[in-house]
Amino acid sequence: MDNINLVFEALSSTPRRKILNYLSATSLTAGEIAERFEMSKPAMSKHLKILQTANLINGEKKGQFMHYSLNRDNLVTSLHDFTANLCPVGSVLKKESKKMADDNEGS
Amino acid sequence: MDNINLVFEALSSTPRRKILNYLSATSLTAGEIAERFEMSKPAMSKHLKILQTANLINGEKKGQFMHYSLNRDNLVTSLHDFTANLCPVGSVLKKESKKMADDNEGS
DNA sequence: TAACCATTTAACTTATTAGTTAATTAACTA
DNA sequence: TAGTTAATTAACTAATAAGTTAAATGGTTA
Protein backbone atom coordinates (compact mmCIF):
# COMPACT_ATOMS: atom_id res chain seq x y z
CA MET A 1 0.00 0.00 0.00
CA ASP A 2 1.34 3.41 -0.84
CA ASN A 3 2.14 5.91 1.86
CA ILE A 4 -0.77 8.33 1.47
CA ASN A 5 -3.13 5.42 1.75
CA LEU A 6 -1.41 4.20 4.92
CA VAL A 7 -1.47 7.71 6.36
CA PHE A 8 -5.19 8.26 5.86
CA GLU A 9 -6.00 4.76 7.01
CA ALA A 10 -3.98 5.40 10.18
CA LEU A 11 -5.59 8.79 10.77
CA SER A 12 -9.14 7.48 10.40
CA SER A 13 -9.20 6.17 13.97
CA THR A 14 -9.99 8.44 16.91
CA PRO A 15 -7.76 6.56 19.37
CA ARG A 16 -4.90 6.71 16.88
CA ARG A 17 -5.28 10.46 16.41
CA LYS A 18 -5.38 10.74 20.20
CA ILE A 19 -2.10 8.81 20.42
CA LEU A 20 -0.52 11.32 18.06
CA ASN A 21 -1.76 14.09 20.33
CA TYR A 22 -0.12 12.51 23.36
CA LEU A 23 3.09 12.07 21.41
CA SER A 24 3.05 15.69 20.27
CA ALA A 25 3.93 16.67 23.84
CA THR A 26 6.60 14.05 24.50
CA SER A 27 7.88 10.61 23.61
CA LEU A 28 6.26 7.78 25.54
CA THR A 29 6.71 4.06 26.00
CA ALA A 30 4.09 1.62 24.72
CA GLY A 31 3.00 1.04 28.32
CA GLU A 32 2.69 4.72 29.12
CA ILE A 33 0.53 5.20 26.06
CA ALA A 34 -1.67 2.22 26.95
CA GLU A 35 -2.18 3.64 30.46
CA ARG A 36 -3.87 6.68 28.92
CA PHE A 37 -6.56 4.57 27.26
CA GLU A 38 -9.19 2.13 28.45
CA MET A 39 -7.93 -0.52 26.13
CA SER A 40 -5.78 -3.63 26.43
CA LYS A 41 -2.06 -3.50 25.65
CA PRO A 42 -2.38 -5.83 22.66
CA ALA A 43 -5.04 -3.57 21.15
CA MET A 44 -2.80 -0.57 21.72
CA SER A 45 0.14 -2.43 20.23
CA LYS A 46 -1.83 -2.86 17.01
CA HIS A 47 -2.66 0.84 16.84
CA LEU A 48 0.99 1.71 17.35
CA LYS A 49 2.01 -0.68 14.60
CA ILE A 50 -0.46 0.91 12.19
CA LEU A 51 0.86 4.39 13.00
CA GLN A 52 4.44 3.20 12.63
CA THR A 53 3.74 1.47 9.30
CA ALA A 54 2.30 4.77 8.06
CA ASN A 55 5.54 6.36 9.22
CA LEU A 56 3.64 8.75 11.49
CA ILE A 57 5.53 7.60 14.58
CA ASN A 58 8.95 6.10 15.21
CA GLY A 59 9.65 3.30 17.62
CA GLU A 60 12.97 2.78 19.35
CA LYS A 61 13.67 -0.13 21.62
CA LYS A 62 15.58 0.73 24.77
CA GLY A 63 16.09 -2.37 26.87
CA GLN A 64 12.70 -3.94 27.35
CA PHE A 65 10.86 -0.68 26.68
CA MET A 66 9.63 0.56 23.36
CA HIS A 67 9.82 4.33 23.08
CA TYR A 68 7.50 5.93 20.57
CA SER A 69 7.81 9.44 19.19
CA LEU A 70 5.87 11.53 16.69
CA ASN A 71 7.22 11.77 13.16
CA ARG A 72 6.01 15.28 12.45
CA ASP A 73 7.73 15.58 9.11
CA ASN A 74 5.87 12.77 7.43
CA LEU A 75 2.58 13.85 8.96
CA VAL A 76 2.90 17.41 7.75
CA THR A 77 4.27 16.65 4.31
CA SER A 78 1.72 13.90 3.67
CA LEU A 79 -1.22 16.13 4.48
CA HIS A 80 0.33 19.07 2.73
CA ASP A 81 0.97 17.08 -0.47
CA PHE A 82 -2.56 15.75 -0.41
CA THR A 83 -4.08 19.19 0.05
CA ALA A 84 -1.81 20.75 -2.56
CA ASN A 85 -3.01 18.24 -5.15
CA LEU A 86 -6.62 19.17 -4.51
CA CYS A 87 -6.08 22.90 -4.40
CA PRO A 88 -5.00 24.76 -7.51
CA VAL A 89 -2.03 26.98 -6.85
CA GLY A 90 -3.11 30.50 -6.07
CA SER A 91 -6.35 29.41 -4.52
CA VAL A 92 -7.46 28.49 -1.03
CA LEU A 93 -4.28 26.71 -0.07
CA LYS A 94 -2.21 29.76 -0.81
CA LYS A 95 -4.44 31.98 1.29
CA GLU A 96 -4.31 29.45 4.11
CA SER A 97 -0.58 29.24 3.79
CA LYS A 98 -0.12 32.98 3.83
CA LYS A 99 -2.40 33.27 6.83
CA MET A 100 -0.34 30.66 8.67
CA ALA A 101 2.88 32.39 7.82
CA ASP A 102 1.46 35.74 8.93
CA ASP A 103 0.12 34.31 12.19
CA ASN A 104 3.58 33.04 13.03
CA GLU A 105 5.40 36.18 11.96
CA GLY A 106 6.60 37.21 15.41
CA SER A 107 7.62 33.78 16.74
CA MET B 1 -19.94 12.51 15.34
CA ASP B 2 -17.82 15.64 15.33
CA ASN B 3 -16.54 17.10 12.12
CA ILE B 4 -12.86 16.15 12.33
CA ASN B 5 -13.93 12.57 12.89
CA LEU B 6 -16.23 12.68 9.86
CA VAL B 7 -13.49 14.24 7.77
CA PHE B 8 -10.86 11.62 8.55
CA GLU B 9 -13.38 8.83 8.21
CA ALA B 10 -14.35 10.18 4.79
CA LEU B 11 -10.71 10.59 3.69
CA SER B 12 -9.73 7.06 4.71
CA SER B 13 -11.14 5.58 1.51
CA THR B 14 -9.15 5.56 -1.74
CA PRO B 15 -12.20 5.87 -4.00
CA ARG B 16 -13.45 8.79 -1.90
CA ARG B 17 -10.13 10.60 -2.17
CA LYS B 18 -10.23 9.91 -5.90
CA ILE B 19 -13.69 11.50 -6.08
CA LEU B 20 -12.28 14.62 -4.45
CA ASN B 21 -9.55 14.66 -7.08
CA TYR B 22 -12.08 14.52 -9.89
CA LEU B 23 -14.07 17.31 -8.26
CA SER B 24 -10.96 19.45 -7.86
CA ALA B 25 -11.02 20.00 -11.61
CA THR B 26 -14.73 20.62 -12.06
CA SER B 27 -18.18 19.99 -10.66
CA LEU B 28 -19.77 16.74 -11.78
CA THR B 29 -23.12 15.01 -11.56
CA ALA B 30 -23.49 11.81 -9.55
CA GLY B 31 -23.71 9.86 -12.80
CA GLU B 32 -20.60 11.43 -14.29
CA ILE B 33 -18.68 10.55 -11.15
CA ALA B 34 -19.97 6.97 -11.19
CA GLU B 35 -18.86 6.61 -14.84
CA ARG B 36 -15.27 7.19 -13.77
CA PHE B 37 -15.30 4.18 -11.42
CA GLU B 38 -15.92 0.48 -11.83
CA MET B 39 -18.59 0.55 -9.17
CA SER B 40 -22.37 0.56 -9.10
CA LYS B 41 -24.26 3.83 -8.77
CA PRO B 42 -25.71 2.92 -5.38
CA ALA B 43 -22.21 2.25 -4.05
CA MET B 44 -21.06 5.59 -5.42
CA SER B 45 -24.10 7.29 -3.94
CA LYS B 46 -23.03 6.08 -0.50
CA HIS B 47 -19.53 7.45 -0.96
CA LEU B 48 -20.93 10.79 -2.03
CA LYS B 49 -23.16 10.87 1.01
CA ILE B 50 -20.21 10.21 3.32
CA LEU B 51 -18.22 13.01 1.68
CA GLN B 52 -21.19 15.36 1.91
CA THR B 53 -21.84 14.52 5.56
CA ALA B 54 -18.21 15.38 6.27
CA ASN B 55 -18.87 18.65 4.47
CA LEU B 56 -16.07 17.95 2.00
CA ILE B 57 -18.40 18.24 -0.99
CA ASN B 58 -21.63 20.10 -1.68
CA GLY B 59 -24.56 18.67 -3.58
CA GLU B 60 -27.04 20.76 -5.52
CA LYS B 61 -30.05 19.31 -7.26
CA LYS B 62 -30.74 20.68 -10.72
CA GLY B 63 -33.75 18.99 -12.26
CA GLN B 64 -33.19 15.30 -12.05
CA PHE B 65 -29.41 15.70 -11.80
CA MET B 66 -27.39 16.02 -8.67
CA HIS B 67 -24.38 18.27 -9.12
CA TYR B 68 -21.50 17.76 -6.71
CA SER B 69 -18.66 20.19 -6.10
CA LEU B 70 -15.60 20.24 -3.87
CA ASN B 71 -15.81 22.16 -0.62
CA ARG B 72 -12.18 23.22 -0.50
CA ASP B 73 -12.56 25.45 2.52
CA ASN B 74 -13.63 22.75 4.91
CA LEU B 75 -11.04 20.36 3.57
CA VAL B 76 -8.19 22.79 4.00
CA THR B 77 -9.21 24.18 7.37
CA SER B 78 -9.94 20.74 8.81
CA LEU B 79 -6.55 19.39 7.87
CA HIS B 80 -4.84 22.59 8.84
CA ASP B 81 -6.47 22.68 12.26
CA PHE B 82 -5.58 19.07 12.85
CA THR B 83 -1.95 19.60 11.88
CA ALA B 84 -1.68 22.81 13.87
CA ASN B 85 -2.75 20.99 17.02
CA LEU B 86 -0.01 18.43 16.61
CA CYS B 87 2.70 20.87 15.69
CA PRO B 88 3.98 23.35 18.22
CA VAL B 89 4.01 26.86 16.84
CA GLY B 90 7.42 27.77 15.48
CA SER B 91 8.22 24.21 14.52
CA VAL B 92 7.71 22.11 11.43
CA LEU B 93 4.35 23.57 10.51
CA LYS B 94 5.72 27.04 10.43
CA LYS B 95 8.57 26.02 8.15
CA GLU B 96 6.15 24.19 5.90
CA SER B 97 3.88 27.18 5.90
CA LYS B 98 6.63 29.60 5.06
CA LYS B 99 7.87 27.33 2.32
CA MET B 100 4.39 27.19 0.82
CA ALA B 101 4.03 30.93 1.00
CA ASP B 102 7.44 31.40 -0.62
CA ASP B 103 6.72 28.89 -3.35
CA ASN B 104 3.60 30.82 -4.27
CA GLU B 105 5.19 34.24 -4.05
CA GLY B 106 5.01 35.09 -7.75
CA SER B 107 1.53 33.75 -8.49
C1' DT C 1 18.75 -20.24 36.78
C1' DA C 2 14.15 -18.72 37.96
C1' DA C 3 10.84 -15.31 38.37
C1' DC C 4 9.38 -11.03 36.55
C1' DC C 5 8.09 -7.26 33.50
C1' DA C 6 7.19 -4.90 28.87
C1' DT C 7 5.71 -5.78 24.60
C1' DT C 8 4.11 -8.24 20.74
C1' DT C 9 1.92 -12.18 18.30
C1' DA C 10 -1.77 -15.66 17.77
C1' DA C 11 -6.35 -17.10 17.72
C1' DC C 12 -10.67 -15.81 18.01
C1' DT C 13 -15.30 -12.93 18.23
C1' DT C 14 -18.05 -9.04 17.14
C1' DA C 15 -19.00 -4.81 14.87
C1' DT C 16 -18.48 -2.10 10.90
C1' DT C 17 -17.72 -1.14 6.08
C1' DA C 18 -18.16 -1.77 1.20
C1' DG C 19 -20.06 -3.79 -2.18
C1' DT C 20 -24.12 -6.16 -4.71
C1' DT C 21 -29.12 -6.24 -6.90
C1' DA C 22 -33.94 -4.87 -6.57
C1' DA C 23 -37.12 -1.37 -5.50
C1' DT C 24 -38.39 3.46 -4.89
C1' DT C 25 -38.59 8.46 -5.74
C1' DA C 26 -38.63 12.25 -8.61
C1' DA C 27 -38.02 14.71 -12.89
C1' DC C 28 -38.32 14.75 -17.87
C1' DT C 29 -40.40 13.72 -22.55
C1' DA C 30 -43.04 11.55 -26.33
C1' DT D 1 -50.58 9.43 -19.21
C1' DA D 2 -46.97 6.10 -20.00
C1' DG D 3 -42.34 5.35 -20.46
C1' DT D 4 -37.55 6.79 -19.56
C1' DT D 5 -33.69 8.51 -17.01
C1' DA D 6 -31.05 10.01 -12.67
C1' DA D 7 -30.37 9.20 -8.24
C1' DT D 8 -31.19 7.25 -3.82
C1' DT D 9 -32.92 3.86 -0.43
C1' DA D 10 -33.60 -0.93 1.18
C1' DA D 11 -32.17 -5.43 2.05
C1' DC D 12 -28.71 -8.33 1.96
C1' DT D 13 -23.73 -10.60 1.74
C1' DA D 14 -18.81 -10.67 2.14
C1' DA D 15 -14.62 -8.58 3.59
C1' DT D 16 -12.23 -5.82 7.00
C1' DA D 17 -11.29 -3.67 11.39
C1' DA D 18 -11.12 -3.54 16.32
C1' DG D 19 -11.41 -5.47 20.31
C1' DT D 20 -10.72 -9.57 23.66
C1' DT D 21 -7.74 -13.30 26.30
C1' DA D 22 -3.92 -16.51 26.20
C1' DA D 23 0.62 -17.50 24.72
C1' DA D 24 5.20 -16.24 23.19
C1' DT D 25 9.41 -13.26 22.99
C1' DG D 26 13.05 -10.81 24.91
C1' DG D 27 15.21 -8.12 28.37
C1' DT D 28 15.90 -7.49 33.63
C1' DT D 29 16.88 -8.79 38.29
C1' DA D 30 17.06 -11.62 42.62
Note the pLDDT of residue A88: 74
Q: Are B12 and A9 in contact (CB under 8 A)?
A: yes
What count of other Cβ atoms lies within 10 Å of the Cβ of residue B22?
16
Note the pLDDT of residue B33: 97
Q: Where are the alpha helices (DSSP H) in A59-106?
A: 72-86, 92-103
Task: Compute the mean pLDDT over every residue in chain B, rounded to the nearest whole number.
Answer: 88
Size of interface A-B (CB pairs under 8 A): 105
Asked if B90 and A97 come within 8 Å (Cβ–Cβ), the reply is: no
Nearest to B6 by CA among B73, B74, B54, B75: B54
Nearest to B66 by CA among B89, B85, B48: B48
CB-nearest to A92 from B72, B83, B94 is B72
CATH code for the domain in which residue A51 is found: 1.10.10.10
Question: What is the average pLDDT across A7-36?
Answer: 97
Tell me the C-alpha to C-alpha distance, in Å, between residue B44 and each of B15, B37, B103: 9, 8, 36
Domain tally for chain A? 1
Please write the tens of the pLDDT for every residue from A85-100.
Answer: 998 765 554 555 555 5
Q: How far is Cα A72 from Cα B84, in angstroms, rounded to an integer? A: 11
Q: Phi-psi region for residue A79, left (φ > 0), alpha (ψ -120 to 50) or beta?
A: alpha
Please write the tens of the pLDDT for every residue from B4-24.
Answer: 999 999 999 999 999 999 999
Note the pLDDT of residue A14: 97
Note the pLDDT of residue A105: 56
Please write the tens of the pLDDT for every residue from A43-96.
Answer: 999 999 999 999 999 999 999 999 999 999 999 999 999 999 998 765 554 555
Domain that holds residue B41: 3-103
Q: Which phi and psi angles does A49 have, rounded to 5°?
A: -65, -40
* D29 C1' to A63 CA distance, Å: 13
Nearest to B74 by CA among B50, B96, B52, B101: B52
Q: In what order do the strands lie in the sheet with A57-62?
A: A28-29, A65-70, A57-62
Residue B96 has pLDDT above 80, yes or no: no
Note the pLDDT of residue A58: 97
Q: Binning pLDDT at 50, 70 and 90, where does residue B55 land?
A: very high
Quote the percentage of chain B above a pLDDT of 90: 76
CB-nearest to A104 from B4, B11, B90 is B90
By CB atoms closer than 10 A (0-12, 13-18, 19+), residue B16 is buried
Nearest protein residue, CA measured to C1' of C22: B42
Residue B95 has pLDDT above 60, yes or no: no
Question: What is the average pLDDT across B55-69?
Answer: 97
